[in-house]
């Protein structure tokens, strides 16, 4: 069997079995998946809670007039908030917990990997529940820490609403940016020379997108984060588009990736793979083979020590 790097470079290559594939692990019934995979679900909830709390904190401290860190210039303020969002995304992706759960932190990302047959049906259900619950916890955590700096206008719970362009422009922008973001991640995560930089690309694009798109259309690209702010604030203006457009955009990216690469599959559903421990997805990532070998070595050493 050719090495994974060669498979990635060969557009004609078809998905094939490789060491480290966990198809059975990814196809567990819901009760077995909950019993075995609950740590990943909990981690996913914590990761998105941290992301939403940091995002809300940045918006409140930089956007509220009463804040000592208020930045009056709109472009500079958006750039600083985008920088916080981008850095937090990259750090969470590369964190040990992010490498374990895959650091989706976004229902649209999980649905895209489900479309790619990397996420099992039961894991899809519990990931979505964890992401929405974590996002709600994150915005409430920010509220507890910041009070009216977060809840009062103009921050207003960091709610996502269409800006100057209106709902039609917001829908088109959310769709296009979500598709571009996900297509970039799929390409880098499955390219042998770019795999290690996937988290950097994810964070950098979020920073740029927020800086320039939020003034025109509002920036969501994450149904769970948008829903959490809308629920907390009671503001549901055009929330349908912030729930629907990112999902459609990322599913569109899946089809674009398949058409452009000639492949129907990807290595794994993780943005940065772990080199130790298990993977709950239908994994063909070369790092998982290394993780399996290290785990087997640890078991052998433990057995011989007895």
Domain extent listing, the chain: 22-305
pLDDT at 275: 84
**Hey, how many other C-beta atoms are within 10 angstroms of the C-beta on 6?**
11
CA-to-CA distance for 206 and 237, rounded, in angstroms?
23
Helices 121-146, 107-115: axis angle to 10 degrees equals 170
Q: Kindly report the average pLDDT of the chain as a whole number.
A: 89
Neighbour-count burial of 244, counting CB atoms closer than 10 A to its CB (0-12 exposed, 13-18 middle, 19+ buried): middle
The radius of gyration computed from the CA coordinates of the chain, to the nearest angstrom, equals: 20
233 half-sphere exposure, CB direction, 13 A CA radius: 26
- For the entire predicted model, the pTM comes to 0.89
* Long-range contacts, 257-262 (Cβ 8 Å, 24+): 257/183, 257/186, 257/187, 261/11, 261/187, 261/190, 262/11, 262/12, 262/13
pLDDT at 12: 37
CA-to-CA distance for 88 and 51, rounded, in angstroms?
6
- Positions in the chain whose pLDDT score sits under 50: 1-20
Question: Could you identify the residue written with the tokens 């077995």?
Answer: 32
Q: Are 181 and 256 in contact (CB under 8 A)?
A: no
Buried b / exposed e over 151-183, threshold 16 CB at 10 Å, is beeebbbbbbbbbebeeebbbebbbbbbbbbbb
Fold of 22-305: Glycerol uptake facilitator protein (1.20.1080)
């Amino acid at each position: 069997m050719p090495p994974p790097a060669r498979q990635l470079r060969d557009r004609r290559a078809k998905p094939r079995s490789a060491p480290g594939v966990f198809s059975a692990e990814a196809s567990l019934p819901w009760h077995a998946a909950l019993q075995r995979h609950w740590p990943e679900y909990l981690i996913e909830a914590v990761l998105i809670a941290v992301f939403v709390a940091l995002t809300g904190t940045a918006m409140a401290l930089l956007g509220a007039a009463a804040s000592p860190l208020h930045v009056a210039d709109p472009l500079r303020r958006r750039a600083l908030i985008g920088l916080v969002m981008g850095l937090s995304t990259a750090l969470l992706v590369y964190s040990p917990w992010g490498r374990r759960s895959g650091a989706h932190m976004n229902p649209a990302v999980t649905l895209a990997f489900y479309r790619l047959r990397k996420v099992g049906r039961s894991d899809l259900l519990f990931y979505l529940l964890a992401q929405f619950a974590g996002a709600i916890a994150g915005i409430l955590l920010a509220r507890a820490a910041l009070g009216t700096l977060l809840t009062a206008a103009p921050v207003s719970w960091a709610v996502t609403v269409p800006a100057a362009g209106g709902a039609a422009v917001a829908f088109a922008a959310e769709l296009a940016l979500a598709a571009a973001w996900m297509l970039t991640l799929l390409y880098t995560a499955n390219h042998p020379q770019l795999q290690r930089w996937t988290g950097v690309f994810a964070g950098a694009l979020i920073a740029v997108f927020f800086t320039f798109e939020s003034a025109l259309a509002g920036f969501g690209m994450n149904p769970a984060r948008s829903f959490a702010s809308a629920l907390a604030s009671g503001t549901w203006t055009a929330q349908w588009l912030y729930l629907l457009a990112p999902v459609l955009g990322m599913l569109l990216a899946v089809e674009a990736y398949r058409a452009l690469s000639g492949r129907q599959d990807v290595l794994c559903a993780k943005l940065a793979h772990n080199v130790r421990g298990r993977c709950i997805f239908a994994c063909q990532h070369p790092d998982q083979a290394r993780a399996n070998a290290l785990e087997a070595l640890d078991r052998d050493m433990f057995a011989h020590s007895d």
